[in-house]
């Protein structure tokens, strides 16, 4: 019997009672954790609050570097992340379980953001599917693959609402809307955890980054945030809360400040809101060294900021070791109490208990699983489906698409044959070598019928200094040895021989993501030039944009006959694109973040409030709220996306003209597929509160359903509106609906115009 199992057996025999600091209500767990904590020294308790990553150099063989090994053996590590494989992780766990004094197992985490090895489209793309079942399924697959590889704690979902495409991490979330963001948060937590943390195929989820990280000023990563409480509660908090209501096990604090105090040391945020108001009972982990970073924020030295974080309600310190190195001193000096440390320690032990680690610390380390569970044909099939349904058709003049499976197609652009850019940002567990390129995908899907010719045409960027910044994790921008002119000439000559040009352009993987903010979100000049040359050939031009953010693409959309927003579509993206372009899949994606006309319109989003001087129409009017040099409306609004078929909405009806607070309102609408293809439509329902005590948004998404409708068929789609859909937070943060008139709009995007109205008494 290992020392650990002996220890557990002794604990179970011991019938002491729990301590009163528990928050779980699970008495067996309380007793267990209390008994364990009675045996722990203060150093061992602080050790549980320490999260480490051995970094890139995690050795095979002896698992971890000496320093880390020693820390684990001496009970100074509660969790570890970034180490992969059941065998390696078993060895690391053995150090904790068999060689530390109390044998407390560690938790093993990772960032599994859009799939583990089976990489799905990046989250902004996945969100564009508006398909909650599919999103949940991708999270389920991610959990199955990650746990097969010894990872059972995930730093996902990232649910930060963002309305600023300059911010690189807009790619990592669900876009601009709190309602849609909440539904996606729920689907992802359910997919990862499946209501059963001890199952060997589920993992504990972490909702991040709490809070408001997506509202960094000027879209610059890690920048300050300053926002009214009204806006926080109504527009930015809902997805975090939805994840908590769905039972998420962990919350990660964000890098930014909130009300002047960095999130990692913000008691109002981490305790008053998160625990007291929302009832969260899991643990809070910091972001990477975000405790230490409070020194740079100007909140004091390491000891001061570590004490601040603990007292604020932060339980686990990621990488920075401020807790490990200063909390004992702070305890001696009375700056923190033993109870502060106990509370945090208990929360982490509870998470371990819920994960089943005290019953079997090796639960997730089964050497046979990687081969059976990772990157299976079935998983790849879901990835292909997800990629196809994440793509958004933004323009399709003269029904150029779907293309005929015949003739010659010229595939042109720096992203046609660029494996290392297929997965997208934040896919550290993926392997781009496994990805299908666009060129390969075309050969797979239509290679027998279509003559495919290809040219790179341009570099993603010609600027070597820019390329250096993008290539930090390996080459993503390859600057060709040939001159830009030679490449252009080749592209034009190849295109002249083709019946149609498909230009695959956009961003390299690392042009979005963490620390990848841009002030200029246009197509890099090298690619713009290429597109102009291609347009000049007069051949039908399909532009496919691979990007992790909404870009400024007015010119590109204008010169294209058809335009597809592809995102970075993951391991099967290369197959999914021809599935879409040749009509094996009829596009159904809808934008979840507004595409601006230009970057000057940012922040831009559909759910705006009226000013006292609203613009009437889209022409400039003096002394109205508008711009001299750009319209107020975006290039493409939230919810927008075309299909190869068309849909008509009619007969919007409501079951009551007047409702009271306890009533439900039934809304129904008929949707007819009036085109020539079977297709899917995302039926969207928006509500406007006509008069309220605080300026109400002009419309808010309050329901959606993705329905598949055969050509010629009509389906009735029903929605139920409850009082909660009409309620909002008031200045005193009370949440209720105000009586009065409401308008409903139903349609295929946020400009939906089919309307009805009702009154709340």
Residues at the site binding ligand BGC, with contacts judged by CB under 6 A: 111, 155, 208, 287-288, 514
Of the candidates 162, 5, 175, the residue with the CA atom closest to the CA atom of residue 97? 5
Q: How far is the CB of 264 from ligand BGC (least distance, A)?
A: 12
Helix axes 525-536, 484-496, angle to 10 degrees: 30
User: Which CB, 51 or 409, lies closer to ligand BGC?
Assistant: 51
* CA 145 – CA 150 distance, rounded (Å): 9
Q: How far is the CB of 184 from ligand BGC (least distance, A)?
A: 17
User: Which CB, 288 or 704, lies closer to ligand BGC?
Assistant: 288
* CA 703 – CA 725 distance, rounded (Å): 9
User: Which CB, 285 or 577, lies closer to ligand BGC?
Assistant: 285
* CA 390 – CA 615 distance, rounded (Å): 34
**Residue 396 token pair:** 């399709």
Q: How far is the CB of 516 from ligand BGC (least distance, A)?
A: 12
* CA 461 – CA 169 distance, rounded (Å): 21
User: Which CB, 288 or 647, lies closer to ligand BGC?
Assistant: 288
User: Which CB, 243 or 502, lies closer to ligand BGC?
Assistant: 243
User: Which CB, 385 or 509, lies closer to ligand BGC?
Assistant: 509
User: Which CB, 45 or 208, lies closer to ligand BGC?
Assistant: 208
Q: How far is the CB of 429 from ligand BGC (least distance, A)?
A: 11
What does DSSP assign to residue 581? H
Of the candidates 196, 194, 199, 173, the residue with the CA atom closest to the CA atom of residue 185? 173
* CA 106 – CA 89 distance, rounded (Å): 10
User: Which CB, 125 or 587, lies closer to ligand BGC?
Assistant: 125
Of the candidates 433, 484, 482, 438, the residue with the CA atom closest to the CA atom of residue 458? 484
Cβ atoms within 10 Å of 692's Cβ, excluding its own: 16
Of the residues 35, 177, 257, 287, which is catalytic? 287
Q: How far is the CB of 249 from ligand BGC (least distance, A)?
A: 15
Q: How far is the CB of 473 from ligand BGC (least distance, A)?
A: 13
* CA 539 – CA 219 distance, rounded (Å): 38
Answer yes or no: are the C-beta atoms of 587 and 595 closer than 8 Å: no
- Going through 204-286 in order, the beta strands assigned E by DSSP cover 206-210, 250-253, 257-258, 261-262, 283-285
Answer yes or no: are the C-beta atoms of 682 and 705 closer than 8 Å: yes
110's enclosing H/E stretch is strand 107-110
- Which distant-in-sequence residues (6+ apart) come within 8 Å of 234 by Cβ? 178, 728, 729
Q: How far is the CB of 160 from ligand BGC (least distance, A)?
A: 10
User: Which CB, 142 or 500, lies closer to ligand BGC?
Assistant: 142
Answer yes or no: are the C-beta atoms of 583 and 676 closer than 8 Å: no
Q: How far is the CB of 111 from ligand BGC (least distance, A)?
A: 5
Answer yes or no: are the C-beta atoms of 478 and 466 closer than 8 Å: no
Q: For residue 448, which phi and psi values (nearest 5 degrees)?
A: -80, -25
Q: How far is the CB of 288 from ligand BGC (least distance, A)?
A: 4
3-state class of 361 per DSSP?
coil
User: Which CB, 514 or 655, lies closer to ligand BGC?
Assistant: 514
Of the candidates 710, 714, 715, 721, the residue with the CA atom closest to the CA atom of residue 757? 721
User: Which CB, 290 or 565, lies closer to ligand BGC?
Assistant: 290
* CA 404 – CA 397 distance, rounded (Å): 15
* CA 566 – CA 128 distance, rounded (Å): 10
- Which distant-in-sequence residues (6+ apart) come within 8 Å of 619 by Cβ? none
Range 668-681 burial, b when 16+ CB lie within 10 A, else e: ebebbbebeebbbb
* CA 93 – CA 406 distance, rounded (Å): 57
User: Which CB, 340 or 514, lies closer to ligand BGC?
Assistant: 514
Of the candidates 225, 190, 184, the residue with the CA atom closest to the CA atom of residue 205? 190
Of the candidates 209, 252, 272, 197, the residue with the CA atom closest to the CA atom of residue 26? 197
655 has catalytic annotation: no
Of the candidates 463, 457, 479, 477, the residue with the CA atom closest to the CA atom of residue 541? 457
Q: How far is the CB of 663 from ligand BGC (least distance, A)?
A: 42
Of the candidates 486, 492, 375, 396, the residue with the CA atom closest to the CA atom of residue 118? 375
User: The tokens 């001890």 sit on which residue?
Assistant: 198
Q: How far is the CB of 426 from ligand BGC (least distance, A)?
A: 8
User: Which CB, 107 or 717, lies closer to ligand BGC?
Assistant: 107
* CA 464 – CA 231 distance, rounded (Å): 41
Mind spelling out the 3-state secondary structure of 603-639? CCCCCCECCCCCCCCCCCCCCCCCCCCCCCCCCECCC
Cα–Cα distances (Å) from 750 to 159, 633, 685, in that order, read 21, 12, 8
- Please measure the distance between the N-terminal and C-terminal CA atoms of the chain and give it in whole angstroms: 68
Q: How far is the CB of 167 from ligand BGC (least distance, A)?
A: 13
What residue is closest to ligand BGC based on CB? 155
Q: How far is the CB of 550 from ligand BGC (least distance, A)?
A: 21
| Catalytic residue ranges | 287
């Amino acid at each position: 019997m290992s020392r650990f199992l002996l220890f557990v057996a002794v604990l179970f025999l011991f019938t002491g009672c729990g301590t009163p600091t528990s928050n779980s209500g699970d008495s067996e767990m309380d007793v267990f954790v209390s008994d364990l904590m009675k045996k722990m020294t203060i150093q061992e308790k602080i050790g549980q609050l320490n999260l480490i990553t051995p970094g890139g150099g995690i050795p095979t063989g002896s698992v971890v570097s000496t320093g880390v090994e020693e820390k684990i053996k001496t009970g100074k590590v509660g969790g570890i992340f970034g180490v992969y494989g059941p065998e390696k992780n078993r060895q690391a766990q053995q150090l904790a379980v068999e060689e530390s004094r109390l044998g407390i197992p560690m938790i093993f985490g990772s960032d599994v953001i859009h799939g583990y090895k089976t990489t799905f489209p990046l989250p902004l793309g996945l969100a564009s599917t508006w398909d909650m079942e599919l999103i949940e399924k991708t999270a389920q697959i991610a959990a199955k693959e990650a746990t097969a590889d010894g990872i059972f704690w995930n730093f996902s979902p990232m649910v930060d609402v963002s309305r600023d495409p300059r911010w690189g991490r807009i790619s990592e979330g669900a876009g601009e809307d709190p309602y849609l963001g909440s539904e996606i948060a729920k689907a992802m937590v359910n997919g990862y955890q499946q209501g059963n943390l001890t199952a060997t195929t589920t993992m504990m989820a972490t909702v991040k980054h709490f809070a408001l990280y997506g509202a960094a000023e000027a879209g610059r990563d890690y920048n300050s945030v300053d926002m009214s409480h009204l806006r926080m509660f109504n527009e930015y908090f809902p997805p975090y809360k939805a994840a908590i209501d769905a039972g998420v096990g962990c919350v990660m604090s964000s890098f930014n400040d909130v009300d002047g105090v960095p999130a990692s040391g913000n008691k109002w945020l981490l305790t008053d809101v998160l625990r007291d108001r929302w009832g969260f009972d899991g643990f809070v982990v910091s972001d990477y060294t975000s405790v230490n970073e409070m020194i740079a924020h100007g909140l004091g030295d390491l000891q001061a900021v570590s004490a601040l974080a603990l007292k604020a309600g932060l339980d686990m310190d990621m990488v920075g070791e401020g807790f490990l190195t200063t909390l004992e001193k702070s305890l001696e000096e009375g700056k923190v109490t033993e109870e502060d440390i106990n509370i945090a320690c208990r929360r982490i032990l509870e998470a371990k208990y819920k994960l089943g680690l005290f019953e079997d610390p090796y639960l997730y380390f089964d050497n046979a699983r990687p081969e059976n569970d990772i990157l299976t044909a079935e998983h790849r099939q879901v990835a292909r489906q997800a990629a196809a349904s994440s793509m958004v058709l933004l323009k399709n003049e003269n029904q150029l698409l779907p293309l005929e499976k015949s003739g010659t197609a010229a595939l042109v652009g720096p992203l046609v044959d660029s494996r290392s850019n297929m997965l997208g940002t934040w896919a550290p567990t993926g392997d781009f070598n496994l990805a299908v390129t666009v060129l390969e995908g075309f050969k797979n899907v239509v290679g027998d019928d279509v003559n495919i010719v290809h040219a790179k045409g341009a570099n993603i960027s010609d600027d070597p200094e820019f390329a250096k910044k993008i290539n930090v994790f390996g080459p993503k921008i390859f600057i060709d040895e040939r001159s830009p002119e030679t490449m252009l000439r080749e592209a034009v000559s190849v295109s002249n021989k083709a019946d149609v040009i498909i230009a695959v352009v956009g961003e390299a993987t690392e042009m979005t993501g963490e620390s990848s903010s841009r002030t200029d979100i246009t197509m890099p000049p090298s690619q713009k030039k290429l597109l102009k040359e291609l347009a000049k050939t007069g051949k039908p031009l399909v532009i496919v944009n691979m990007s992790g953010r909404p870009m400024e693409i007015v010119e590109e959309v204008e010169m294209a006959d058809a335009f597809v927003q592809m995102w970075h579509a993951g391991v099967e993206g290369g197959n999914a694109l021809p599935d879409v372009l040749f009509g094996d899949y009829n596009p159904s994606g809808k934008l979840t973040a507004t595409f601006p006309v230009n970057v000057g319109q940012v922040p831009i989003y559909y759910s705006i409030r009226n000013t006292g001087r609203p613009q009437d129409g889209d022409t400039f009017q003096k002394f109205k709220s508008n711009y001299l040099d750009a319209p107020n409306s975006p290039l493409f609004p939230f919810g927008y996306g075309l299909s190869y078929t068309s849909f008509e909405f009619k007969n919007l009806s409501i079951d009551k003209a007047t409702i009271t607070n306890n009533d439900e309102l039934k809304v129904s609408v008929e949707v007819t597929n009036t085109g020539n293809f079977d297709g899917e439509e995302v039926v969207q329902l928006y509500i406007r509160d006509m008069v309220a005590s605080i300026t109400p948004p002009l419309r808010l998404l309050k329901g959606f359903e993705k329905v598949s409708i055969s050509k010629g068929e009509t389906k009735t789609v029903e929605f139920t509106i409850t009082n909660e859909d009409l309620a909002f937070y008031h200045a005193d943060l009370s949440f209720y609906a105000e009586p009065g008139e409401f308008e409903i709009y139903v349609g295929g995007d946020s400009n939906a115009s089919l309307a009805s109205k009702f009154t709340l008494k």
